[in-house]
Structure 1
Amino acid sequence: MKRSRLKTFIGLAMVALGLIQAGAFAAQSEWIPTALGLLYSGIGVAYLWAEVYTVDR
Structure 2
Amino acid sequence: MAKQFECTMEDCNFMIRANEEGEVIHIVREHAQDKHGMSISDKDVRKGMANA
TM range, smaller chain: 0.3 to 0.5
TM-score by length of 1: 0.31
- Structure number with the higher helix fraction is 1
- For the pair shown, which has the larger CA radius of gyration, 1 or 2? 1
- Structure number with the higher strand fraction is 2
